[in-house]
Amino acid sequence: MKLFKKIAASIFGICLFTNIVYAEQITLKVMSTTIVEKPEGEVEQKFADEFMKRNPDIKIEFIGTPMNSLYAKLQTVAIGGELPDIFTNTPEFAAKSREMGITADLESLLEKSYIEGFYPSILDQTSIDGKLEVFPFFTIPMGMLYRADWFKEEGIEKIENWEDFITAAGKLTKDTDGDGKVDRWGFAMVGSRNGSGGGRFAQILRSFGAYELAKRNGEWQTDIDSKESRDAFKFFTELYTKHKVVPPGPTEVSYGEAISLMASGKTAMMITGPHSIGAILAQNPELAGKIYSDVIPKGSKNVSNLSIGGFSISSTSEHKDAAAKYLKFIVETEQGLEWNRVTGRMPSRIEAGSQPQISGPIYEGFVNALEYVEPLPTSAPFYSQITGDILGEAYQSIMVGGVSVEEATDYAAERIRELIDEN
C-alpha cells in the first residue's frame, strides 16, 4: 500500500511539473469572415494559437466564411440546428440575429465595467435597446484612401467636396506609358450589388443629405426617391458613364477587386476603411508610406459610418463562458495593436485606441472621420437587404442597364417601403 501511494504521489508530481491537463478539452467552433482574408486571417490564427497555448483545455476551430455570404449562411445553419459557438456578427445584422433568437445574452457573460471599456460610439451601434448584442472586435471608420505621392505629382493639395473630387479624379486618370490608352484611373469604384458596394454608396448618399433608411417620429422612412438622392445617384453613376474616371466593368468590382486595383497602381482613390491599408500593403509592400487617408468629401455635409466587425456567442452554445473568455482575449491591448499594425483596422477598446501607434497622416483621415459618424439603422432587421441588394440594383441599372435615375430610384423606394410595411 505504501509503495502504491509513493507511485501515485510521483505521478501526481510529474503531472504538476509538466503541466499536463487531464480536464476534458472542449472545442469552440468559430465562424469567422476575417479568417479567410489576407492578412487578417494570419493574425487571427496567431491569436487563436496563443489563446490555445494559454488555455490547453480549449481548442479553437475556425469555419471560414466570406463576408458577402455570411448572413445567408447563418440563416441556413440556424435552420439546420448547426450554429457554431461563436459567429461573426455586425450591427447591420444584429436586429435580424436577435429576431432569429440565435444570440446569447452577452451582458450576463461580461461584467458591466468590462463592457464600459469599449468606445461609447461603438457600444451605441452594437447595442439594441441599450443591451449589447455584438461583441466588438474592431472598428472601421469610413473615409477616403488616396495615393499621396500621386497627389503631390499632380499638385492636388486637398479634396474638400465632390466637385474637388471630380477634378482630382480627372487629373489622376491618365495614360502613364504613352501608348494612347488610359491605364490609370482616379477612383476605385466598388460597384458590386452587395454589402461592399451598397454600404459604401450609402455614405455618398448621406453626404448629399438623403437617407436610405431613417426612423423619424417613430416610423421607418426612406429618401431614395428624393431630389437629394437622385443627385447622389447621378453623381455616382456619372463617374463611370460621363467622367470616365473609373476602370471598366465597375459592376463586377467588389471589395477585393478594388483593393487589387489600388495595390497594382491602377487607381488613386477609394472610399473605404483603415483595414484596406493592410490589405493593399499585403499585395504590394512597396506602397508603404504612400497611402494616406482623409474624410469622405463633402456634399451638403461630411459623413462617416463607423463599420464594426464583431462576434456573437450562439444561444445554443454549450460553452458560453469559454467563448466569452476567447473573445475578451482577442481584444486585449496587445492583440488590438497587433491587429491594427498588420491589418489597419482600429481597436474597439479605449485602452488600445489611446496608444500613440494610431496617429500620423496614414490614419489621420479616419481619426477625423469619427467627428462625422452617423449611426446605422441597425434596429431594422431588413436593413442588410437595402445595402446588400436594393442600392446596388439601382446604381447598376443606371450604369449598365439603360435605366434612368428617376426610374431606378422610384423602384428602389418602392422596394424599401414594401420592406418597411412587411416589418
Series of mean pLDDT values for 10-residue runs along the chain (423 residues):
48 45 80 94 98 98 95 94 96 91 96 94 88 94 96 96 98 94 97 95 97 95 98 98 97 96 98 90 94 96 92 98 98 95 88 81 85 82 93 98 97 98 91
Q: Are residues 233 and 273 in the same domain?
A: yes
Amino acid at 42: E
Respond yes or no on whether the N-terminal peptide bond of residue 347 is cis (omega within 30° of 0): no
Q: How far apart are CA 79 and CA 75, in angstroms?
A: 6
Residue 337 lies in a domain: yes
What are 384's three cell numbers? Answer: 442588410
Residue 347, beta-bridge partner list: 138
Residue 357 has a pLDDT of 81
Dihedral over Cα of 123, 128, 129, 135: its sign? negative
Whether 173 and 322 share a structural domain? no
C-alpha cell at 260: 487589387
pLDDT at 15: 46
Predicted pLDDT of residue 23: 57
Q: Which domain, by its residues, includes 394?
A: 143-306+375-422
Q: Which of 287, 294, 293, 295 is nearest to 261 (CA)?
A: 287
Residues 120, 215 within the same domain:
no
Is 370 part of a structural domain of the chain? no
- Per the CB < 8 A criterion, the answer to whether 423 and 380 are in contact is yes
* pLDDT computed for residue 259 by the predictor: 97
Last residue of a domain, one of 340, 363, 386: 363
The answer to the question of residue 236 being in a domain is: yes
Q: CATH no. for residue 180?
A: 3.40.190.10
- Is 286 exposed, middle or buried (CB count within 10 Å of its CB: 0-12, 13-18, 19+)? exposed
Q: Same structural domain for residues 227 and 321?
A: no
- Do 267 and 257 lie in one domain? The reply is yes
Note whether residue 65 is domain-resident. yes
Closest CA to 295 of 198, 159, 403, 118: 159
- The strand pair at 135-141 and 267-272 is best described as unpaired
Q: Which residue has the cell 459623413?
A: 303
Q: Are residues 298 and 319 in the same domain?
A: no
Report the pLDDT value the prediction gives residue 4, as an integer from 0 to 100: 47
Residue 327 φ then ψ, to 5°? -65, -40
C-alpha cell at position 422: 412587411
